[in-house]
Amino acid sequence: MKYLILALALLITACTSLLPHPVGATNMASADAEGIISTDALLKQYPAFAAEYARYQLDAIAIEQMQSLQGLQLVVLFGTWCHDSEREVPRLLKLLQQANITTDNLQLQAVNRQKQHPQQLHSHYNLKYTPTIIVLQNGKELGRIIERPQQSLAEDLAKIAKGRK
């Protein structure tokens, strides 16, 4: 009898894992993104990213610090499944938008759960953790922020940008 109950419990557990995830569950609105994704698509398709974008409050100092990024390129390797990415990527996007930094040189590059990119950018940039925000000037890396900033996103990015030639 106890084997029958155990089998029934396993069957119920297996069946409930096949049910769709509840609406609003983190990262379950869409399948995990892979490859390049636009800011608009990211915020429309992934509610956790949109919620953090709306929630994030920044100040005039952060906006001023972001001005040092003008003319630089940013490559952001992140996972739509990653809680650190859900926090940092929307904040970066809001900082860029509020500081009126042109995002023509911004590449949002989503990686899969194995932290691999369809065009092998994970190998090219030696990706270990997500998100990784890479600041480039003329294709040369100036620095990167891995997972979370040490001080603040704006301050850490400004420090990297000030090291340019």
- Burial of 160: CB neighbours in 10 Å, binned 0-12, 13-18, 19+: buried
Phi/psi at 55 (nearest 5 deg)? -75, -30
CB 74 within 8 A of CB 105: yes
pTM over 0.85? The answer is no
Please give the average per-residue pLDDT across 45-51, as a whole number. Answer: 98
Is the model's pLDDT at 132 over the cut of 90?
yes
CB 145 within 8 A of CB 136: no
Q: Determine the Cα–Cα distance for residues 65 and 63; give it in Å rounded to an integer.
A: 5
Pick from 32-46, 96-110, 131-145: least confident? 96-110
Please give the average per-residue pLDDT across 92-111, as a whole number. Answer: 92
Q: Determine the Cα–Cα distance for residues 159 and 101; give it in Å rounded to an integer.
A: 16
Confidence grade of residue 2 (pLDDT, cut at 50, 70, 90)? low
Is the model's pLDDT at 26 over the cut of 50?
no
Confidence grade of residue 3 (pLDDT, cut at 50, 70, 90)? low
Per-residue pLDDT, 163: 80
Q: Determine the Cα–Cα distance for residues 85 and 32; give it in Å rounded to an integer.
A: 12
Cβ within 8 Å of residue 158, ≥6 positions away? 65, 66, 68, 69
